[in-house]
Structure 1
Amino acid sequence: MRRLRLPRAVLLFIGLLAAPAFAASTSAAGDGATAAELDRIVDGIRARYRLPGVAVAVVEDGRASYRRTAGVLALGEGAAVGPGSLFKIASNTKAMTAAALARLVDAGKLRWDDPVARYLPQFRMSEDWVTREFQVRDLLIHNSGLRAGAGDLMLWPEPNAYTRADILHGLRYLRPQHSFRLRYAYDNLLYIVAGEVAAVAAGAPYEVALQREVFEPLGMRGCRVGAWTPGAGDELAQPHARRGDRYVVVRRDGAAIPASTMDPAGGVRCGLDDMVRWLQAWLDPERRGADGKPWLSAEQRRAVWAAQMPMPVSARQRDWSRSRFSAYGYGWRLGDVHGEFKVSHTGTLMGMYSLVAMLPDRRAGYVVLINGDAGDARSVFDQVLSERYAPPPQPRDWTRYAAEIAREEAAPASRRAPDTSARTAARRAALAPWLGRYRDPWFGEASVCAQGDTVRFVAGKSPLLSGKIQQVGGRWLVDWDADEVDVEAWLDFARAPDGGITLGMSKVDPDADFSYDYEDLAFARIGDCG
C-alpha cells in the first residue's frame, strides 16, 4: 500500500555514500563466496540510491542463508539498523490478512464464497446486485470494478479522523469504473473490510485475530500491529523522504503508536528476523505452529496461491524476466521469471518500502526492508535476487537494471505533469462565486474560504489536506501546506443544472500515486463560509 500504497517515489541518481553514519552493518551467510557477492549487491544498491537503512535476508531450503542489515534507523541519530529493527511493511500486510482468513477457513469459521454481508450486514457497494454477490474472496483480489485506489483518501495522509465504520459506509458512494469482476484494479479499502470480516469470524478485533492466527503460531514475536507503546529495547526504523538531493525523516513516531484504520491493508511492522520466519512458513509446506499442528492446510495453501484475477504483464516484466503471466491470489502477486513460478508482494508507504518474494519450486525467497522512498532500488533488488534462482540466458549485473531505470525516467515522454511554476496566489475576488462549504458523500466536508486576501482549501476530517489555492492560467490548484502531501490537486468549480455549485478535483500530475484519488470526489456546495 502507499501509505496502503501512498506516494510513488521518483528518486534521483546520485553518487556513493560517504557519511560515517552509513558505515555500520552486519551480514551472515553459510557460504563465504555467496555472502561476499550478496554484500556487493547490497552495498552497491544502497550506495547508488543513498538508502538511509536497509535489511535484506535470503531463505533457502528452510533456513536463512543470508542476513544483512546496514545504515541507520534515522539519519543524524546514529542508531544502526539491526535484525530486530521494526520496519513498516505496508502492503505486505495484505498477505498476512489473507493468511488470517485462510486459518479461519481451516477452522470452519468462514468460507471463501460466503457473502460479505453475512458477516457485515452494513456492507454496501453502489449497486445492489454487487452487494449481494460480493464474497469474502472478492475482498482480496482487486476485482471490485472501482478505480485503482478508490477511497484511499479515507486512509491517508495520516493522521485523519476516518474510522473503519466510515469506510464501510463510504463504499456505497464510490462509483465503479468497470463491471464487478471484469478487471484488476488495486484497492486498499476492501482489505479494511476483509479485516472486519476476520474480526467477526474470529470473535476478536482484527489486530487480536492477526496476533492469534499469524504472529503467535509462527513465532513472529517482534511484529506489531495496532496501538502499542515502544519499550526501551524497541528499535523503530523511521521513514525518510526525498527533499531535493537528500533524505530527511518524515512522519516520525511519537512516544505511543496509535492504532490505524488501515491496519488490515498496510499497518504491520516487523523486523528482518520475523520476516524470515514469515518466508519459512510459506516455503515449508509442513510448517507447524507453536502448538505442534500444521499452521495452514495444504488446501488453503493452494487456495492462497491460486490465480484469482488476471493482471497485466508490464513491458519491464516481459523485457527483464520474459514473464508470460501475472495474476493476483489472496494477498499475493503471482507470475513467472525466466520460466520459474514466483510469488511476491511489495509494500509502499511514505518513506517505507518493502519487498517479499519467493520462488517456491526452488525453495527460495528473499525479503528487503528499506526506510526511505526507494521504489527504484526495490525494483533492482527484486530483479537481481530473483535471477539468482531463475537466471537469464546471459548473466546480468544489478547496475544494468539501475541504468535502464535511469534512462526510462530521463525520457521526456515519461513525464506528463504540466509545468505549474507560473503560479500566483488566488485572490478572494477571483474565487468569490465559489467560496463556501462543500460536502462529498464519502469524504465529508471541506471548505473553500478566504483568509485575508488569499483563499484556502481545508478538509474537515483530514487535517493534512489543507493548503493555499493557487492560480495557474485559467485553472486553480491546491498547494498543500504539509510536505508529506506531495501530489497537488486541480480544483474544478461548476454550476449544476439545478443552480447549485459543484467542485471536482483531479491530480495535477496524472501519473502520481493513485492513492490520491481526487478523481473520486464529487463535492456539492452546502453553505457559506462560517
Structure 2
Amino acid sequence: MKKMITVDEQLIQREMDFWNVPGLSVSIVKEGQEPYTKSFGWRDKENQQKVTDTTLFGIASCSKAMTSAVIAMLVAEGKLDYDVPVTTYIPDFALMDEEASKNTTLRDMLCHRTGLGGHDAIWPVPKTLKEFAQAFPYLQPSAPFRSLTQYSNIIYAVIGYAAEAVTGQTWTELMHHYLFDPLGMTQTNCQAKSMTDSDNFAHPYQVLDGVLTKLPVWDVDSVAPAASVNCTAIDMCKWLNFLIRKGRTAEGISLIPEDIFETMITKQVEYDDCLGPDKSLYPTDGYAMGWKTGEYRGKAMRRHTGKIEGYSTIQAFLPEDGVGISVMMNLHSPTVAIMHTVLYSIIDSLLELPAIDWTWKFRDDKKPTAEDYKDCHIDVFHSVYPDAIPNTMPPKKLMEGYKAHAYEGTYFNAGYGPLTIIAQKDQLYMEYRDMSLPLEPYWSGNFMINNVKEDILTLSIPLTFICDENQKSIGLKARFEPLVDDIVFLKK
C-alpha cells in the first residue's frame, strides 16, 4: 500500500484567514505515494458555495508550461523545430526589428528573448491568434533581439499560432488532443466561456480598498497560450505526475522523449526573479521553456506563478526528488505570501528538511491593510512628470485649453487598434478595449488616466492630445507601455 502524503492543513487555513483568501486548492504528488488533494474555503463566498477538488481555477501564466509541453510534443513529431526561424511555419510573422523578424525561433519565444516585451495593453481583444499577431510589426521593441530576457504574454500567443499553422487544429483542440486527453485531465479547459459554463468554478476576487470584492471572469482567449487554462486540483495532480515522470503518462507512455523534456526544463537564458515575496530567498537563475529555473534549499526546482484577474497560482516540481506541488486560489494579488508559505512548508515536510516557520518569514501578526493589496499598481504618469499637480493652471486658462468636445473622436494605431474619446459635459472619457476611463486634466491638452488594466497590473498613464495650428485635435499619444516611447494614435 502506498504511503499517504500528510499536510499541515491548519497552517493553510490560518494563512487563508489572515490574507482574506476566499478559496484555495492544493495538489501534491510524490513518487511512490498517493496523490494528495485538499480544497478549502469558498468558490462563491456570497452564496456559501464551497471549493471542492473538482472546482475550476484560472491558472493564468502557469498555462505557459502546458503550452511548452505541447510544443515539445510537436517537436518530437518533427512538425516543429526549436531552432529554425518561426517564419518557416508562419510566413506572415513579423516584428518591427528586421533582424528579429528574420531570425526569431520558437526557442527565442519560449524563453522570452525576442526583444519584444510587455505591450499588455493590446489584449484582451476578440481576435484569433493569427489576427492578434498581425499587430506585432507595429509594436516597438524594448531591447535588441536576443539581448535581454523580457517576459512576454503576447509572444506566447504567437507560439500557439505556429502550432495551429502546422497542425490545422486550433490551440484549444491541440491542448486537448496532445495533453489533456492523454493525461485524463477531463475537467480542464482553456476558454473563459468553458469555465463560466461549468457548474463548479471558483469566482474571482480581489481586495479593493480593504474589501473582498467579486470580479467578473476575464476573457483572455486572445492570448490563450499564455494564460487561459482552467484546472482543478484532481487534474493538476495528473499534470504534476506527468512532470515528475519526465513526460510519461501514468501508463508509462512517453509523450515527450526524455531528451526533449530535459531541453524544455533546462535554463535557456538569465532571468532575474525570486521564489517568493522576499527577493533574498531562493532567487531563480534563469528561464527555461515556460519554467523558471532555480533551487530550493539546495534542491533543483522548476516553478512558475500564474496571476490573472481574481486568480493566483503557483506550480512547482523538483525533478531530482520526484515531487510536484500546486497551490491555486481565487484571490488577485501578485505578492501575497500565502502561496509561498504553503509551497515551502509542504516541500520541507515532504523532503524531511529541517523545519522553517515560513509564516513569519513573510509576515508578522499585524493584519494586512488595504495598502498590502496595492502592489499591482504602477504610477507611470508621475515617473514621466514627477512634479505634476492636477489642475495647476488657472481655471479659465485650463478650460480654454480643455475644450472637451474638440477632442472627441476615434483615434487609431496599427499595433494598438482603435481608441475612442467621448465627452460627457466637460468630462472626457477614454474607451479602449474593455475599458471606459475618465481623463483627469493636468494642463492644456495633457491628462492622466487611472486604472488602465494591463495583465495583472493597473497603471496611471499620461495622455497628450496632438493639435494642429488651429488647436484642432489630430492625434494623441499615451504611455501604455512604460519601456518604450509613447504610443501615437492618429484621428480617423
Matches of 1:174 and 1:440, distance apart in 2: 10
In 2, are the aligned partners of 1:471 and 1:477 still within 8 Å (CA)? yes
Aligned partner of 1:221 among 186, 208, 228: 186
TM-score of the superposed pair, with normalisation by structure 1? 0.78
Three-state SS of the structure 1 residue aligned to 2:479 is strand
Aligned partner of 2:60 among 90, 96, 117: 90
Deviation (angstroms), 1:293 = 2.8
Deviation (angstroms), 1:421 = 12
Inter-CA distance 286–94: structure 2 relative to 1 (3 Å threshold): closer
Q: Which residues in structure 2 correspond to 1:235-250 (within 5 Å)? A: 235-250=200-215
Letter in 2 for 1:492: T
Matches of 1:300 and 1:482, distance apart in 2: 37
Deviation (angstroms), 1:470 = 1.2
Three-state SS of the structure 2 residue aligned to 1:58 is strand
In 2, are the aligned partners of 1:447 and 1:458 still within 8 Å (CA)? yes
Matches of 2:298 and 2:364, distance apart in 1: 25
What value does the CA root-mean-square deviation take over the aligned residues?
3.7
Inter-CA distance 305–480: structure 2 relative to 1 (3 Å threshold): closer
Matches of 2:180 and 2:390, distance apart in 1: 51
Aligned partner of 1:346 among 276, 285, 305: 305
Aligned partner of 1:369 among 322, 328, 332: 328
Deviation (angstroms), 1:67 = 2.1
1:431-470 superposed Cα distances (whole Å, 9 cap, x missing partner):
23755542222111223343222222222xx1x3222211
- Other-structure match for 1:454: 427
Aligned partner of 1:283 among 237, 244, 250: 244
Q: Which residues in structure 2 correspond to 1:137-156 (within 5 Å)? A: 137-147=107-117, 149-150=118-119, 152-156=120-124
Inter-CA distance 286–141: structure 2 relative to 1 (3 Å threshold): closer
Three-state SS of the structure 1 residue aligned to 2:115 is coil
Inter-CA distance 280–103: structure 2 relative to 1 (3 Å threshold): same
In 1, are the aligned partners of 2:344 and 2:358 still within 8 Å (CA)? no
Inter-CA distance 327–389: structure 2 relative to 1 (3 Å threshold): farther
Letter in 2 for 1:369: M
Matches of 2:314 and 2:85, distance apart in 1: 32
Letter in 2 for 1:206: W
Letter in 2 for 1:155: W
Letter in 1 for 2:268: Q
Letter in 1 for 2:130: A
Matches of 2:489 and 2:263, distance apart in 1: 44
Matches of 2:191 and 2:452, distance apart in 1: 28
In 1, are the aligned partners of 2:130 and 2:161 still within 8 Å (CA)? no
1:103 aligns with 2:37: no
Matches of 2:485 and 2:343, distance apart in 1: 33
Letter in 2 for 1:246: V
Three-state SS of the structure 2 residue aligned to 1:68 is strand
1:403 aligns with 2:355: no
Matches of 2:342 and 2:401, distance apart in 1: 50
Matches of 1:110 and 1:503, distance apart in 2: 42
| More divergent stretch after superposition (429-438 vs 365-374) | 429-438
Inter-CA distance 521–421: structure 2 relative to 1 (3 Å threshold): closer
1:69 aligns with 2:42: no
Identity of aligned residues (%): 22
Matches of 2:389 and 2:34, distance apart in 1: 54
Three-state SS of the structure 2 residue aligned to 1:399 is helix
Matches of 2:123 and 2:377, distance apart in 1: 27
Pairs aligned (count): 469
1:504 aligns with 2:477: yes
Q: Which blocks of at least 5 consecutive residues in structure 2 are unaligned? A: none
Matches of 1:525 and 1:414, distance apart in 2: 30
Q: Which residues in structure 2 correspond to 1:219-368 (within 5 Å)? A: 219-226=184-191, 234-252=199-217, 260-285=221-246, 287-288=248-249, 293-314=253-274, 319-321=280-282, 323=283, 325-368=284-327
Matches of 1:439 and 1:81, distance apart in 2: 44
Aligned partner of 2:449 among 452, 461, 478: 478
- Other-structure match for 1:43: 13
| More divergent stretch after superposition (162-171 vs 228-237) | 228-237
TM-score of the superposed pair, with normalisation by structure 2? 0.84
Deviation (angstroms), 1:198 = 1.2
Inter-CA distance 133–476: structure 2 relative to 1 (3 Å threshold): same
Q: Which residues in structure 2 correspond to 1:101-180 (within 5 Å)? A: 101-147=71-117, 149-150=118-119, 152-156=120-124, 160-180=125-145
In 1, are the aligned partners of 2:376 and 2:457 still within 8 Å (CA)? no
- Other-structure match for 1:7: none
- Other-structure match for 2:24: 54
Inter-CA distance 445–286: structure 2 relative to 1 (3 Å threshold): closer
Three-state SS of the structure 2 residue aligned to 1:347 is strand
| More divergent stretch after superposition (413-422 vs 226-235) | 413-422
Inter-CA distance 98–200: structure 2 relative to 1 (3 Å threshold): same
Inter-CA distance 246–122: structure 2 relative to 1 (3 Å threshold): same
Letter in 2 for 1:489: I
Deviation (angstroms), 1:236 = 0.9
Three-state SS of the structure 2 residue aligned to 1:361 is coil
Deviation (angstroms), 1:494 = 4.7
Inter-CA distance 88–144: structure 2 relative to 1 (3 Å threshold): same
Inter-CA distance 232–173: structure 2 relative to 1 (3 Å threshold): closer
Deviation (angstroms), 1:330 = 1.0
Higher relative contact order (CA 8 A, sep 6+): 1
Deviation (angstroms), 1:502 = 4.7
Deviation (angstroms), 1:319 = 2.5
1:302-334 superposed Cα distances (whole Å, 9 cap, x missing partner):
11111111112559666323x4x5211111111
